[in-house]
Structure 1
Amino acid sequence: MNRRPPQRRWWLPALVLLAVIWVLSSSPDTPGPPLVHPLDWLAHFLTYLALGFCLGRATGRPLTALVLAVWWGALDEVHQAFVPGREAGLADWVFDLLGAFVGVTLAGRRRALPDEEVPEP
């Protein structure tokens, strides 16, 4: 994972995602139709992919961004254990982790400019 300079403008979408995750987890009923496991896991994966991407851009530090996203996913699962009608799940957290990893990895990629030399791997 490449380290990038931090971009503070990415903190706003990251904080919005953190708040949305918390609010949805506080509700006994998730909006929309009930999700079967594969769709629920896809929702976890995509949400945490977005969070990992935003945190990766905001911090410029892939490991820090990954730890923050994974920590939030674990905290969210514990939080859900205390919400009536919700349950905590290890599988949900694993999909949070996988999504965050992909998001942080994507955030660390640099796009080469046409006249910029790209070093060979």
Structure 2
Amino acid sequence: MGAIWWLSSGSDTPGPPLPHPFDWAAHFLAYLALAYALARATGRWGVAVVVAAWFGAADEVHQAFVPGREAGLSDWLFDLAGAVVGAGLALGRGAGRRADDAVR
């Protein structure tokens, strides 16, 4: 979480700029890793996804106040998608997971 916050605090991210839509891949992968770690730490898919989604939303608001950056709903949706996949990978749950397992 600290690394994501630090990277989004600068006007430019390190390395070459990512043209659109590759920036969405960076969002997806960052939140996949975050939710994977959260799910492994808690053992709970729902907790990992909710915490990662909340943090992604907070970071988008944070970016709205950083010169040269902007907040975007589409960025947050890729954060959320990465979180869902990451938490699922961490706990070995595929697309066939039952709906009542989502809150566990």
The CA RMSD measured in Å over matched residues stands at: 1.0
Deviations 1:20-58 (A, max 9, x none): 000011101111112112210000001111111000000
Runs of 4+ in structure 1 displaced over 2 angstroms? none
> Alpha-carbon deviation of 1:97?
0.3
Normalised by the size of structure 2, how large is the TM-score? 0.86
Task: Provide the residue aligned with 1:55 in structure 2.
Answer: 38
> Alpha-carbon deviation of 1:91?
0.7
2: distance between equivalents of 1:33 and 1:90?
A: 23
Paired residue total? 93
Task: Provide the residue aligned with 1:28 in structure 2.
Answer: 11
Deviations 1:76-118 (A, max 9, x none): 00000000111001111000000000000011118xxxxxxxx
Q: Which of 78, 91, 100 matches 2:83?
A: 100
2: distance between equivalents of 1:26 and 1:19?
A: 10
1:102 alignment partner AA? V
Could you tell me which runs of 5 or more consecutive residues in structure 2 were left unpaired when the two chains were aligned.
94-104
Which shifted more, 31-40 or 100-109? 31-40
Residue 56 (structure 2) pairs with residue 78 (structure 1): no
Task: Provide the residue aligned with 2:26 in structure 1.
Answer: 43
Instruction: Please tell me whether Structure 1 or Structure 2 has the larger radius of gyration of its CA atoms.
Output: 1
- Quick one: percent identity of the two aligned structures? 68
Could you tell me which runs of 5 or more consecutive residues in structure 1 were left unpaired when the two chains were aligned.
1-17, 111-121
